[in-house]
Structure 1
Amino acid sequence: MWGEWLGMQKTIVVLGMHRSATSLVACGLHQEISMGDDLLPASGSNPRGHFEDRHFVRMNDRILSAAGGSWDRPPSRQGILGVGERFSDQIQSTLDLASSGKEIWGFKDPRTTLTVPLYLPFLQNPHFVCCFRDPDQVARSLQRRNGFPLEKGLRLAAIYNRRLLTFLSDFTGQWHEPPSGS
């Protein structure tokens, strides 16, 4: 399965809103590739584990905080881009540490859905696995886990999904181009 990738480092990045099956996807990937060396432990809401490396969680929390927000109070995209340069060296060293000696590796932290534009210049041969879940189900799951009102969960799901689609559009450069001949 991974044979065609040999000889070239690949980075698999799992993106998606919290409670959108990102842990499930990362668990499956972790069966074949390293998803981190310092993973958060399992919890009641994710009994098999979160498959989030603490280094990326901390990095993303610092970025979001510097931009004036947090995972559940997402700062504007411009706010995140505005603090990017101050985190460049830290992002590079976090990626270097996580990828050292690995041909294929990955990471997952739902916050990366907001911060991925800052990581992109430093990722080696990135491949993105994007997770989407019915926003109503996300909101209900956040209500159970965090006690959030449904409206807050729906708003968060909309923000994360919109940011992910914007990133994919920017990354591929093809989503908004009309078909040739139109």
Structure 2
Amino acid sequence: MPNAKRKLILILGMHRSGTSVLTHMIHRLGVPLGVTLRATPDNPDGYFENENLVIVQESLLHALGRTWHSTEPMPDAWRETDIANEALEIMTKLVAYEFQNTDVFAFKDPRTCLLLPLWAHLIESLDLDARYVVMTRNPHEVAASLAARDGFTQEKSLALWQLHMNAIHAHLALVWQTRADQGKTAQSEATVIAYDALLDDPLRTLHKLSVALELSPASEEQLRSAASVVKRDMRHHTIAK
């Protein structure tokens, strides 16, 4: 398509919801994630997060008196602060850099859920085609995972889950309303992936993503490689239905 916009794929979801494995799969379909990716001992396969952007987001939250596990809502009018605008300037430059040699780029960091108003401005200023992938998981499974890794109480973890999901829903509602006001459709801009469905049928999930995100056709080898990211031992902390 001539003059097609560059495509930004934002993978959204609460921590411990499976966003890392989903992003890994998208990456194996040929979608760039950037030049610097981070990993830590508790996730040796990697978080598949662009380290430079994560550092900026983490620093901004800290400057606003928050952390990734703060259960308090974001401060009032935080988006209008000088520190938010400074972070936005840096993030815009980083994302523009990642698009130098590609027309598609994916980014995942659960902190993004809380900072979506900043990303809205970035998307508009760079004139990007934003696509959202929302990863969902049973909140009680998320809480069990956070208890095992971080020692969080169930009350704290469920509050965190609610905070992140509310932020996602609020942003998407605003996107859809804006698009509707412009006489455009927006449903295709958000794709919801359930953690259980991803583990049960990774190939079906890959097909759903490829169609929704309008990715270049993947080879059989790419599909097999992406599906192989899903391992049996990923079904931790399952809550009986």
CA RMSD of aligned residues (A): 2.2
Other-structure match for 1:169: 173
Report what 2:152 is aligned to: 148
Q: Write out per-residue CA displacement over residues 43-100 of structure 1, whole angstroms, 9 at most, x where no aligned residue.
A: 33x3422101111110111221122201111551635423332323112112112222
1:51-62 equivalences under 5 Å are 51-62=48-59
Question: Structure 1 length normalisation: TM-score?
Answer: 0.85
Higher-Rg structure is: 2
Name the amino acid aligned to 2:19: T
AA paired with 2:54? V
2:76 match = 78
Is residue 57–residue 87 contact of structure 2 (8 Å, CA) maintained in 1? no
Q: Which residue of 1 aligns with 2:112?
A: 112
1:134 aligns with 2:138: yes
Distance 1:129 1:77 in 2: 26
| Structure 1 unpaired stretches of 5+ | 175-182
Structure 1 Cα separation of the partners of residues 48 and 3 of structure 2: 24
Structure 1 residues 25 and 63: alpha-carbon distance in aligned structure 2, compared to 1, 3 A threshold: same
CA–CA distance in structure 2, aligned partners of residues 163 and 5 of structure 1: 34
Q: Does 1:19 align with 2:23?
A: no
Q: Aligned partners of 2:19, 2:174: CA distance in 1, in Å?
A: 22
Name the SS for the 1:40 alignment partner: coil
Q: 1:131/1:82 Cα in 2 relative to 1: closer, same or farther (>3 Å)?
A: same
Matched residue, 2:87: 87
Give secondary structure in 1 for the equivalent of 2:105: strand
Q: CA deviation at 1:6?
A: 9.1
Amino acid at match of 1:146: D
d(CA) in 2 for partners of 1:143, 1:5: 50
Letter in 2 for 1:25: L
8 Å CA contact 1:29–1:35 kept in 2: the answer is no
Give the TM-score of the pair, scaled to structure 2. 0.65
Please report how far the alpha carbon of residue 24 of structure 1 lies from its aligned counterpart in structure 2 after TM superposition: 1.4
Counterpart Cα distance in 1 of 2:58 and 2:22: 22
Tell me the CA shift for residue 5 of structure 1.
9.6
Corresponding residue number in structure 1 for 2:100: 100
2:155 counterpart of 1:158:
no
